[in-house]
Structure 1
Amino acid sequence: MTTLTPTAAAPTRRAPVPPLLAGLVLAELRRLVRNPMFAIGTLGFPIMFFALFGLPAVHQTTESGANAGQYILVSFGTYSLLSVAMFSFGAAVATERMGGWLRLLRASPLPAPLYLAAKIIAALLFSALSLSLLSLFAHLAGGVTFPAGTGLLTGLKLLLGMIPLIALGLCIGFLASPASASVLANILSVIVSFGSGLFVPLDQLPKFMQALAPFLPSYHLAQLGWNAVSGQARGDAVHWVWLAGYTLVFGLVAAWAYRRDEARGQ
C-alpha cells in the first residue's frame, strides 16, 4: 500500500511590475488617441480657444510690463490640463466602471494601484503632448516664445500641479454614471476655468467670482505657471500647500467611492 504525500503548491509568479505598468500605460494612450472626441476636445479645443481669444492680445503687455502672450499661453495650457483630468478620469473611469471593466480587473491578479498609476502616467504624458502642441501653435501663429529654462520650468510645474485635478476626475468617475460624468466634467471645466481667471482676467470678473477664485484648484495651478513666467516664485509655497490639500481631500473621496463600488460588486 502506497502513501500519497501532498505536494506543495507551486508559488504564483507575477509579471515584473515595470513591463506590466509600461504595457498598461501604452494601452491607455492608445485608448485616448483612438477616441476622436477626447483627442479633439483635449488637443484641439485649447488651440481653438487660444486662436479665438488669445491671439488678438499676445503682443500686448501686462500692467507689470510683462509679455501678455506668455500669460495667455499659461492660462490656456492650464485649461488643457483641466480638460484631460476631467475627461480622462471623469467620463472614462465612469464608463469603465459601469461597463464591467473594473469588475473584471478586480477579479484579475492586477493590483488596483497599478491600474490607477497607469492612468495617471498616461494622463501626464497626454497633457505634456497637449502643452507642446499648444506652445507650438502659439509660437507659429503668435510669435509667443519662452526662454528654454522658463518654458521647461513652467511645463513641469503645471504637470506636477495637475495631480489634484486628476484626483477630482477620479471622484467624478467613481461617483457618477457615464452620462452624468460627461455632463458634470463639461460643466465643471467651464465654470472652474472662468472662475480661475483662465479665459478672462480676474480683475474683469464680478466681485463674487474674484472672491471665489482662491478656493479653486485650477486658480492655484495657474498661479504657479504665471509665477514661473514672471520669475516671481516667492508665493509658490502657498499654492503648493493648497494643491496638496486638494489632492488629499479628493484622493480620500475617490478611495472611499472606489471601495463603495467594490462592495457593491460594480
Structure 2
Amino acid sequence: MSDLILIHTRYQFLEQLRVPIALVASAFFPAAAMLAFVVPFTGADPMSATSATAGMMLFGAMSAALIGLSISVAHDREQPWDPYLRTLPAGPLPRFAGRILTTMAGMLLSVVPVLLISAFLTAAAISPLRLALGIGALLVGSVPFMLMGLFIGYAVSPKAAIAVSQVAYFPIAALGGLLVPLEVMPGFVQSLAPFVPSRGAIELMWAAVAGRTPSPVSLAAFAVWIILAAAAATWAYRRDEGRRFS
C-alpha cells in the first residue's frame, strides 16, 4: 500500500508542476500581503512580526488546501483516467493519501516566500525548534481545509469549484483574523471568530511559534470542523461514485 501511495503522490505532484499556476497563486497572495501589511506596520516588532508571519503562512496554506485541492479534484473527475482508477482493486486510499501529501508539499512551497520576506524584511525572531513546531502546526491546521477542498471538488463541476472555493476562502480567512487583527474588527466578527476553523488553526500556530495559550473554544470548534468536513467529503465522494458508476 505504501508503494501505491508514493506512486500516486509522485504522479499528482508532477501533474501539479506541469501546470504550476496554483502553486504560484498560493505563494503570491500571502507574500503580497506580507509586503503590503506586515512589513510596513508590524515588521519592526519581533513578537508582532512573528505572529503575523504565522498568519500569512496559514493564509497561503489555506489557498493550496482549499482552492488548489478542490479545483484539481473537480478537474480530475472530468478526465477519462479518473473512472479507470476507480475500477482498480486498490480502493480510494492511495489516491486520497497521494492528494493530501501532494497538497502538503504545495503548502510547504507556498510559505517559502513568506518566510524569506519575514527573515530579511522584518524583525521576526524564532528558534529552529519553534519553526519546526510551527510547520507541524501548519500541517495540522490545514486538515479541515483539505477536507473542505475534497468536498467541493467532489460535489461540484470544475468551473463551480473555482468560484465556490474562492467565495469560501476569503471570508474564512478574514473571520479568523488572518488578514486584520480581531481587535480592530467589528464586535460581531470578534464573536464569530472562535467558531471558524481558521481561528483554531492560527491559534495552534501561535502556540507553536510564540508559546501563546490557545482558546479552548477555538480548539473545540476546530475539531468539530474536522469532523463535519470529513463527513461532508465522504458524502460527496460516495454521491459522485453513486451517480457515475451505479
Does the alignment reach a TM-score above 0.5? yes
* Residues 161/196 of structure 1: CA separation in 2 closer, same or farther (3 Å cut): same
Unaligned stretches of 5+ in structure 1? 1-16
Counterpart-to-counterpart distance in 2, 1:28 and 1:236: 37
Deviation at 1:111, TM superposition (A): 1.7
Counterpart-to-counterpart distance in 1, 2:18 and 2:115: 23
SS in 1 for 2:89: coil
Moved more, 219-228 or 70-79: 219-228
More helix by share: 2
The letter for the 2-side match of 1:30 is: L
The aligned runs of 1:240-255 (5 Å cut-off) are 240-255=219-234
TM normalised by structure 1 equals 0.85
Q: Which residue is 1:47 aligned to?
A: 31
The letter for the 2-side match of 1:87 is: I
Deviation at 1:144, TM superposition (A): 2.7
Deviation at 1:117, TM superposition (A): 0.6
SS in 1 for 2:178: coil
2:72 is aligned, of 92, 95, 108, to 92
2:48 is aligned, of 47, 59, 68, to 68
CA deviation map 1:65-93 (0-9, x unaligned): x6211011011111011101112321111
The letter for the 2-side match of 1:194 is: A
Q: Which residue is 2:105 aligned to?
A: 125
Counterpart-to-counterpart distance in 1, 2:177 and 2:34: 14
Moved more, 112-121 or 100-109: 100-109
Counterpart-to-counterpart distance in 2, 1:76 and 1:188: 17
Matching of residue 30 in structure 1 with residue 14 in structure 2: yes
The letter for the 2-side match of 1:119 is: R
The letter for the 1-side match of 2:70 is: G
Deviation at 1:103, TM superposition (A): 1.7
Matching of residue 135 in structure 1 with residue 115 in structure 2: yes
Deviation at 1:226, TM superposition (A): 1.7
State the identity as a percent. Answer: 26
SS in 2 for 1:67: helix
Q: Does the 8 Å CA contact 2:67/2:169 hold for their aligned counterparts?
A: no
Q: Does the 8 Å CA contact 2:194/2:217 hold for their aligned counterparts?
A: no
Q: Which residue is 1:8 aligned to?
A: none
Q: Which residue is 2:138 aligned to?
A: 158
Deviation at 1:146, TM superposition (A): 1.1
Counterpart-to-counterpart distance in 1, 2:192 and 2:232: 22
SS in 1 for 2:171: helix
Q: Which residue is 1:58 aligned to?
A: 42
Deviation at 1:104, TM superposition (A): 2.0
Unaligned stretches of 5+ in structure 2? none
Matching of residue 169 in structure 1 with residue 149 in structure 2: yes
* Residues 163/155 of structure 1: CA separation in 2 closer, same or farther (3 Å cut): same
Moved more, 127-136 or 195-204: 127-136
SS in 2 for 1:265: helix
Q: Does the 8 Å CA contact 1:161/1:240 hold for their aligned counterparts?
A: no
* Residues 255/103 of structure 1: CA separation in 2 closer, same or farther (3 Å cut): same
Deviation at 1:98, TM superposition (A): 2.9
Counterpart-to-counterpart distance in 2, 1:72 and 1:49: 10
Matching of residue 230 in structure 1 with residue 214 in structure 2: no
CA deviation map 1:153-200 (0-9, x unaligned): 111111112111111111111111111110111121111111111111
Matching of residue 181 in structure 1 with residue 161 in structure 2: yes
- Number of aligned residues: 245
The letter for the 2-side match of 1:28 is: Q
Deviation at 1:34, TM superposition (A): 2.1
Q: Does the 8 Å CA contact 1:150/1:228 hold for their aligned counterparts?
A: yes
The letter for the 2-side match of 1:48 is: A
